[in-house]
């Protein structure tokens, strides 16, 4: 906590000097609601530990840099790099969707303020940037906190897990390896001791979490990374397969600019349509993707999946018959 406060005070002090405000220990103490002695120790730390070329101007009753182009090691970033961090900070805050809790929200707000102090111009990232998801699946803040705790400490996590497809709850003990936010929902990639295999757990479906005590040996990244990277989406079945979709002329130009997977292949037809082939690991997820484009996309292969989509459409049509 002490080092973090020192850093915040130093960053603010550095920013005020570069703005020509000639800050001093009294102003720093007022800003951070600490004693003048504590503020003076911060200034001395700034000078001695970071080598800041501080000089006191008696006429201005404050400090300035003897070397005008001095920059703190922690703030030696270009304007574009700082802006990139601001956008990332905003993305992190928006992705929280209420599940990260008060501590993370306070952290990203503080980070945003510190970065804003380091760039020229009156940019406000909360007004300049935003991110939107078509749907958000919030999870309990306590469950999120326990999951992060287990992941950071490499200790097992036990919980009750609800499967909406089987409509049952099972007790699982897992070894957490990776946490990912996918389309507004937090997913835990973990080794499931019950199934003896890698599984994807949606945090919103977890309840009654309990942390283990004995740390587990983390497995190699190569074991679980393919679970995320080898196919479209995040749902996984037993075998990976390829799907070829044909986008109509109306959507071809838009589809050409999308990236569903690094290994996707695109081919234009003479009629101006676009054929997309990509690896898939779960038919339900690609089925939902296909249906949302309506008549502007057609499944060309494999034939069994084409039949699966046809049956789904027939079932949908029954719901609208009068």
- pLDDT, one tens digit per residue, over 119-138 is 555 556 556 666 665 566 77
Token pair of 44 as six digits: 């001395």
Q: Are residues 213 and 255 in the same domain?
A: no
Looking at the fold, whether 155 and 170 belong to one and the same domain comes out as yes
Residue 114 placed within a domain: yes
The pTM (predicted TM-score) of the whole model is 0.54
In this predicted model, what pLDDT tens digit does every residue of 128-184 receive, in sequence order?
A: 666 665 566 778 878 988 998 999 999 999 999 998 777 889 999 999 999 888 777
Residue 32 structural domain:
2-75
Counted domains in the chain: 4
User: Same domain, yes or no, for 49 and 21?
Assistant: yes
In-domain check, residue 19: yes
Q: What is the pLDDT of residue 1?
A: 37
Is the predicted pLDDT of residue 4 greater than 70, yes or no?
Answer: no
Distance of CA 260 to the CA centre of its chain: 18
Q: Which domain CATH number covers 71?
A: 1.10.10.10
Strand partners, 198: 191
- Band of residue 22 on the pLDDT scale cut at 50, 70, 90: very high
216 located within any domain: yes
Write the CATH number for 191. 2.30.30
Nearest to 76 by CA among 36, 118, 109: 118
300 contacts 306 by C-beta, under 8 angstroms: yes
Q: Are residues 216 and 265 in the same domain?
A: no
Same domain for 64 and 34: yes
**Average of per-residue pLDDT across 255-283:** 89
Mean pLDDT, the chain, integer: 81
Nearest one of 258, 292, 298 to 275, comparing CA atoms: 298
Instruction: Report pLDDT for 128.
Output: 64
The 8-class DSSP code of residue 220 comes to: P
Q: Are 107 and 164 part of one and the same domain? A: no
Query: What CATH number is associated with residue 261?
Result: 3.30.70
Same domain, 153 and 215: yes
**113 inside domain:** yes
Q: What integer pLDDT is reported at residue 223 of this predicted model?
A: 87
pLDDT digits (tens, 9 = 90+) for 292-304: 999 999 999 999 9
What's the rounded Cα separation, in Å, for the pair 273 and 160?
A: 47
Is the predicted pLDDT of residue 82 greater than 80, yes or no? no
Same domain, 124 and 152: no
Same-domain status, 70 and 86: no
- Do 27 and 98 share a structural domain? no
β-partners of residue 179 are: 188
Same domain, 299 and 258: yes
Any domain includes 68: yes
Residue 285 lies in a domain: yes
Any residues with CB less than 8 A from the CB of 162 and at least 6 apart, and which? Answer: 168, 169, 205, 206, 207
In-domain check, residue 234: no
Q: pLDDT-based confidence at 233, cuts 50/70/90?
A: low
301 is a domain residue? yes
Confidence band, pLDDT 50/70/90 cuts, at residue 271: very high
Structure confidence at residue 101 as a pLDDT band (50, 70, 90): very low
Predicted confidence (pLDDT) at residue 97 exceeds the cutoff of 60: no
Does one domain contain both 53 and 106? no
Tokens linked to 144 = 């999120």
């Amino acid at each position: 906590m002490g080092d973090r406060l020192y850093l915040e005070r130093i960053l603010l002090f550095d920013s005020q000097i570069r703005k020509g405000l000639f800050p001093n220990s009294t102003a720093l103490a007022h800003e951070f609601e600490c004693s003048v002695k504590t503020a003076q120790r911060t200034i001395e730390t700034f000078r001695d530990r970071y080598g800041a070329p501080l000089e006191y101007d008696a006429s201005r009753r404050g400090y300035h840099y003897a070397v005008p182009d001095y920059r703190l090691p922690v703030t030696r970033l270009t304007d574009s790099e700082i802006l990139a961090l601001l956008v990332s900070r905003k993305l992190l805050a928006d992705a929280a969707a209420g599940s990260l809790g008060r501590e993370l929200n306070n952290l990203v707000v503080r980070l945003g303020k510190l970065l804003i102090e380091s760039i020229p111009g009156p940019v406000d990232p909360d007004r300049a940037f935003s991110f939107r998801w078509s749907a958000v699946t919030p999870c309990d803040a306590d469950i999120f906190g326990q999951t992060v705790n287990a992941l950071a400490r490499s200790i097992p996590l036990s919980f009750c897990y609800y499967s909406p497809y089987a409509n049952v709850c099972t007790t699982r003990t897992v070894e957490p390896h990776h946490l990912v936010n996918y389309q507004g929902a937090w997913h835990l990639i973990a080794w499931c001791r019950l199934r003896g295999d890698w599984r994807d757990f949606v945090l919103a479906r977890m309840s009654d979490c309990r942390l283990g005590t004995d740390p587990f040996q983390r497995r190699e990244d190569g074991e679980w990374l393919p679970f995320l990277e080898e196919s479209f989406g995040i749902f996984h079945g037993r075998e990976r397969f390829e799907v070829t979709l044909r986008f109509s002329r109306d959507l071809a130009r838009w589809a050409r600019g999308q990236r569903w997977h690094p290994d996707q292949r695109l081919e234009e037809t003479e009629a101006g349509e676009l054929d997309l082939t990509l690896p898939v690991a779960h038919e339900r997820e690609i089925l939902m993707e296909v249906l949302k484009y309506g008549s502007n996309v057609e499944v060309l292969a494999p034939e069994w999946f084409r039949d699966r989509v046809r049956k789904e459409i027939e079932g949908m049509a029954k719901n609208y018959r009068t």
